[in-house]
Structure formats: structure tokens, C-alpha cells
Amino acid sequence: MVIKPSLTERQNQVYEFLRSYIRDHQKPPTMAEIGNALSIRSTNAVFKFVVALEKKGYLTRTPRVSRGIALTQAGDQLSFTRPPPLLPIIRAARSDQPEQLRHHPTGALHVDARLLGPTDADVCLVTVAGDDGMSEQGIRMGDFLIVEETNQEQLFSGELVAAVIGERIMARSFDFSRNRLHLQPSARGYAAESFPPDSPGCHIIGRVLGVMRKL
Amino acid sequence: MVIKPSLTERQNQVYEFLRSYIRDHQKPPTMAEIGNALSIRSTNAVFKFVVALEKKGYLTRTPRVSRGIALTQAGDQLSFTRPPPLLPIIRAARSDQPEQLRHHPTGALHVDARLLGPTDADVCLVTVAGDDGMSEQGIRMGDFLIVEETNQEQLFSGELVAAVIGERIMARSFDFSRNRLHLQPSARGYAAESFPPDSPGCHIIGRVLGVMRKL
DNA sequence: CGCTATGGTGAATATGAATTCACCATAGCG
DNA sequence: CGCTATGGTGAATTCATATTCACCATAGCG
């Protein structure tokens, strides 16, 4: 078991116990329960561990409240406690009618928040329709792309983006230069495409945060 | 708001409050907190609601334990889609000690049941440690593989499997012929490996059901 | 050596919280 | 009408839990 930075062996044990207890019971343990698990007879010793972990930022307490312990983000609780968001799967639409995209989801999948990372934007899933020339990026036909919906101004050159080109959704490497939008596939044999800003033939959905595939 | 079978309006309100409180606080509320939210001044009234909900199977209590309420699966299924399973992320272990694998998860991620498909076996996640020669399959370094834990007899030739070879976990195409186990990478330049059955140098974790990647 | 951090025991204390008791109001029903 | 289920008040009681106090042992360090 990896010991977290600045935690002693024993503090780490307490921390790991908190994680497993919360996962199993859907609520934090009491001081006595912690002590019981780690063979500490005095709740005082446990209390001091909890305070130490709080000081180091691994948890927060609500004083004088039973089971008042909550693990912090730093301590990595999001993934196993909060139910993961349900992301809509959007289907292709014509690039000159991008508003249509969000209104006709074909389904939805739960995606763990840790695959999303910190983002305030809406996130959706798009399916890769065909072999779209991104095999070098490990993207294949049928994959789901996790897409953070951003507008063009928030993107950096070289980022992987999902875009509607014509009536197809594809993944492309993004580049904006010489006042034109360049969308490049990763594989040879596929043509890069280039559009003027606000071209009706091309609509950027957003940044690709991840990929999911069912075999 | 849809009222669940056999719940009164008020009982339903209590139940919905429990759900939202647990979602927001990662722990169940106290009687007083419930009463507070629903403008019930007497904890006794709240207590009677909780007992009623317990009797109807919407929750279970741990008597005389603070925050001893736990919502049941039954109540969950009626009210919202089941939270996706939380799969442990297992780390490399030596192939001659495969039992060790499950006992030291390094974390866990929620994975939508639709990516898993129908399976009764245990499913876990493994991380792809390095470029392991499966780029033709769209598998890259750092990817999570969704692995259905199966033993060798249940596998078919040509299936993609995850295996512990030496101390590394890798994805390989599975083939059993001439009384030997053949594990082939997809890319040229990587050697296929071949083992006798039950070789201590190789342990099959199971069939790869899917892939997840965070960029 | 004295000083400090860590990890502990055991008991006392105060507050949090579940549970019980007594009693009330309203609505539906045979 | 009397009966029962539901929903409620307020206070008392008892157990659970957090927090504090006093004191101890060990190891590393200047």
C-alpha cells in the first residue's frame, strides 16, 4: 500500500481504514470503531490521529457531530462515494445546426468523475462513426469519446477535439492558425481539413477528455 | 415527484430527503436533521417515519447507532437507475502469486454496467503499464482495461485477454493449441510468448471486455 | 541530557442522538 | 359513533460519541 506524502505509517493505516469503512458502510466510522479496527484502546489516541489527518488536509471534521469525518478531495473520495454523472450520448447532426446536437441524445452512460477531471463545462459522449483516421491515437470505430463542450476560443493547438464535419462526428487534432481552423487526423492517408472561422461545414463540439470502448 | 408504491406523501418526502442528504453529505442524517428539513419539531415523529419506512423495506436501521439509517437496494431500484458497479483497480503482482492480485486494489472506478455486458464473473480494472505492443488494438499506455475474471477453460482462441507475465500485466490475444498457451501482441516487433499450461511465469486474469482512457 | 514528535492508556465529561412516554388532531371506514 | 392509521408536539430517558485531562513510553535530535 502506498503511503501518502507526509503521512506516517500509522496515520496512513487510519486513513486507509477510513476509506474502506466509508466504502463499505456508506458512512464514516466513530472514533471507537476506528480504534477497534486498529487495536487502539483509547479513543483519545484515535482522536489525535483524526486531528492530525485533518491538519494535513486528508479529511475535514464537523466538531462534536457523530461520524463527523469527511475525506477530502485530496484524499480521493470522489471516485467511490458520489454517484458518477450520467452523460448523454449525442448523435451526429448537421454541422450547420449544432443546436440540434444536445436535444437528441440516443442514450446515456455513467462515467466516473475521475475520468473527467475537474471541469465546469457540460460533458457528453459521442460515438466514433467509422474508421476516422485516428488509429494512431488509439481511437477506433465504435469508441465513445468523452467530450467537454467548449468553444473554439478555449482550445489550444494540438489538442484532441471532437467536431461535426458535414454530418459526421470525428476526432481530430485541433489547430488554429492563419485565421483558419485546421483539423488533422493522426494517420497518413487521411486528408487534413481546413475551414474558415464559423464555417457552416464544421462545428467544434469540444475537447476530448477520454475514450471508452466496449469490445 | 413519483411516489413509490405503498408510501404516503409524507413518507415519500422523508425518503427523498434521505436520498438527497446521503448524496450530499456522504452519510445518513440524524433524526433531528430530518425533522429540521421537513419542519417536524419532534424527533419522535421522525422516528416513527423511519420505522415505517423500515417496515416497508425502504431502509434498514442499526438500532441505537447514530446515523444508523441505510437505504436498501429495493428502494433504490424503484426510484432511480442503479448506481454503476465500482470496480477495483488491481495492480501488478507476481504471476506465481495470483491470489495477491485482488487483495491490494490501488483504487476503484465506477463503470457503467452497459460497458460490461451480462456477466456473473467478477470484473476488475487493470492499468496498462507500458507500450505493450497492442497499439493495433487501440490499447495504449495508461489505459484501463475492463477485465472479466475467467479461468483459461472459458476462453476462446483469438479473444483479447489480460495476463500477468512475470511481474507485468499486459493485454494479449489468447490462443491455446498444441497443449500450450500462446499470447500474442498485435504489433510487429513484439514477440509472441508461449507457455505450458499452469506455468508459474504466466497467469491469465481474464477476458478484456472494454477499455477506458483518460487523456 | 533535555526537547519534541509520535503513539499510547484510562477515565472523566459534555454533548449528540436514538428511543420511549404521554398526549393530541384529523380523516377514512365499517 | 367508535376504531384505526397517519402525522404531530414536547419532554424525559438512556445510550453513543466526541472531546478533554492526566500521564506514560519510545525514538530522533541538537
At B74-106, the pLDDT tens digits run 444 333 345 566 676 776 555 555 555 554 455
Per-domain residue ranges of chain A: 9-80, 86-212
Mean pLDDT (whole number) for B164-172:
83
Nearest alpha carbon to residue A206 among A102, A65, A109, A114: A102
**A64 beta carbon < 7 A from strand D?**
yes
The alpha-carbon gap from A135 to the nearest alpha carbon of chain B, in Å, equals 7
Cα A20-B149-B142 angle, rounded to 5 deg: 70
Q: Cα B92 from chain centroid?
A: 18
Closest nucleotide to residue A43 (Cα to C1')?
A: D18
What pLDDT does residue B99 have?
A: 53
The class (CATH top level) of B9-79 is mainly alpha
Render pLDDT for B100-146 as a digit per residue (tens, 0 to 9): 555 445 567 888 877 887 777 878 888 887 667 788 888 988 889 99
Distance, Å, A16 CA → C13 C1' = 30
Nearest chain A alpha carbon to B161 = A215
DSSP structural state of residue B97: -
Q: Does the domain at residues B86-212 carry the CATH identifier 2.10.109.10?
A: yes
Sort A33 into a burial class: Cβ within 10 Å, 0-12 / 13-18 / 19+: middle
Let me know: does A172 contact A206? Beta carbons within 8 Å. Answer: no
What pLDDT does residue B146 have?
A: 92
Judge whether residue B194 has pLDDT over 60. yes
Q: Do A114 and B109 touch (CB under 8 A)?
A: yes
Lowest mean pLDDT among A89-103, A107-121, B19-33, B47-61: A89-103
- The CATH fold of domain A9-80: Arc Repressor Mutant, subunit A (1.10.10)
Closest nucleotide to residue B42 (Cα to C1')?
A: D9
The alpha-carbon gap from B177 to the nearest alpha carbon of chain A, in Å, equals 24
